[in-house]
Amino acid sequence: MTKLQKIPTESSRNNLYQRLLAKALNFVSYKARTTYELAQALDRYLYKRTLSAAEKEQLKEAVIAEIDSMAILDDVQYVKDFCFDVVNSSKSYSIPMIKAYLYKKGLSGDWVDALIADTYTPDIEETMIQRLVAKKLPKRGQHPDDQAKYKLISYLLRKGFTRDVVYTVVDTNFKKA
């Protein structure tokens, strides 16, 4: 038997499982993570291992199950915390931007939409648009004109905000000026 045909023993699998679990705990200890992110990290770690795909998947599932049993990963809480952070942030995010970010993290579906809708109300969207308008108004100069208004509207619409709320907020700000 050559070195390339090394057959993994039970002790080496257990050792690999322990190392994989330690890597996973280290990975989730730095910041909040999703189950999808953890699975990707485990895939990256197992990529060069000389195991069959079934063995890799089995190890990955065992580590994720162990981490889940420790109650470290909670995708629902991750979505709630992210929405809360967005609402209380100085940056303004629209619902499509939030959904795109969460989709990159492996979170999508009706339950995500429901959690976002619970947190992100039209009043909050209006507040976020007002923050962006306040940032853009000083750049316009002293004499607001129709061209500046339409540029501001198109900017806000490109950011993904709702059309009705954008027009309402921009119209009220241009009436004040």
Other Cβ atoms within 10 Å of 155 Cβ, number: 15
* Domain limits, the chain: 7-69, 75-119, 122-176
**pTM listed for this prediction:** 0.75
- For residue range 119-138, list pLDDT tens digits in order: 888 888 888 888 888 888 76
Mean pLDDT of all residues in 4-25: 74
DSSP of 66-77, one letter per residue? HHHHTT---HHH
pLDDT band at 103 (very low <50, low <70, confident <90, very high): very high
pLDDT band at 176 (very low <50, low <70, confident <90, very high): low
Establish how many alpha carbons lie within 13 A of residue 150's alpha carbon, considering only the half-sphere containing its beta carbon.
3
pLDDT > 90 fraction of the chain, expressed in percent and rounded: 11
Chain-wide mean pLDDT for the chain?
A: 83
pLDDT band at 144 (very low <50, low <70, confident <90, very high): low
The answer to whether the Cα torsion of 10, 68, 89, 133 is positive or negative is positive
Helix, strand, coil tally for the chain in percent (to 5): 75, 0, 25
